[in-house]
A = this chain, B = another copy of it.
Amino acid sequence: MAVTLQQIADAAGVSRGTVDRALNHRGRIRPDVEERIQKLAREMGYQPSRAGRALAMARRKIRIGVILQYTETPFMQQVLEGVKEGKAEVEGFGGTVEIYEIQGSMPGRVIEIMETLRKREFNGIALTPSDDEMLKATIDRFMEEYQIPVVTLNADLEDTRRLCFVGQNNYQSGRTAAGLMGEITGGKGRVAVISGQMVNPGLNSRLKGFQREIQESFPEICLADTRYSYDDEWVAGKILEELLELYPDLTGIYITGHGVSGVCRALKKAGKDREMHVVANDFLKENKKWLEEGTLNFLIGQESRVQGHAPVMILFRKLFDNEDPKEEFQYTEILIKTKYNI
């Protein structure tokens, strides 16, 4: 039978309210009484009931806002699912979660929504950031001036005071890809990288991690120059054709982001889809298909649902239990999939 506040109150010879003040550091209590009650609670193994607390706090509501950019992409749709799971969980405790979806990238719109949420007395915000000075300043203002915690998800803004970040360690993801490429090529041959936009910091980190690890651990692998598909499937395919012509001895390809289908189709057309070693990113339907067909050897994933779910729950624990996240960088797992464990 779990210990309740009332039982501690009885044992201490005080009222429930006093025990509450002692255990939750609310002040307005004599220090020696506070200490005595805390000790007693510890001895009795008191664990507060989340249900009781949730119900009592239903008046002063917990309101969490989630702002997602690039929601037109399948990847963000997966993140969105995770957010919705968190929403259901929080609302079961009497809180509110509102979700804002932005197509493409619009940092100005993110700021607007943040201000609206503040006026509506929301008390926590999770968002996918952009590398924008105004947005950075706004995040800092929310954290410091308004005491509204902000969690970044999927991408980070390290130079802000955001509560924490939930997402992948892209550099490490790139290194993982290099390790896989080294294994399947036997550490030999020529390997090319196809990336997305040149300005995408996430993809650049993967690229850097990949290059660095290939150079250090597989010195016999010759890296061809990196090409950019600008997130266009057709361009990606075109790049592949050029690479095949330029380097008839090409043995491996690493795709940091978009363009997987373009590359795979072109490989198939050239009759090289079996022999070429290909490592790509993200568990999208299309990509899984290429993995099952055997065109891709490995697919690296990043727990998209967790990236939506965890930020909501971190904010909830902060607001409900006043519990800070243990880590500033909440890196999601780097998942490796073959056609067998998809």
Contacts and interface: CB of A to CB of B under 8 A. Distances in A.
Interface in A125-180: 172-173, 175-176, 178-180
Interface of A: 1-2, 47-52, 54-55, 58, 91-94, 96, 172-173, 175-176, 178-180, 183-184, 186, 213, 297, 333-341
A337 to B, nearest CB: 7
B52 A179 contact: no
B297 A183 contact: yes
6 contacts: A2-B91, A172-B341, A175-B340, A176-B340, A335-B335, A336-B338
Contact of A94 (B2, B297, B340): B2
Given A2-B91, A2-B94, A50-B92, A333 B340 contact: no
A179 B339 contact: yes
Query: How many copies altogether?
Result: 2
Contacts of A186: 186
Contacts of A339: 179
Most chain B beta-carbon neighbours within 10 Å: one of A52, A94, A178, A341: A341
Contacts of A92: 47-51
A342 to B, nearest CB: 9
Given A91-B2, A94-B2, A340-B172, A55 B47 contact: no
A317 to B, nearest CB: 12
A178 B340 CA distance: 9
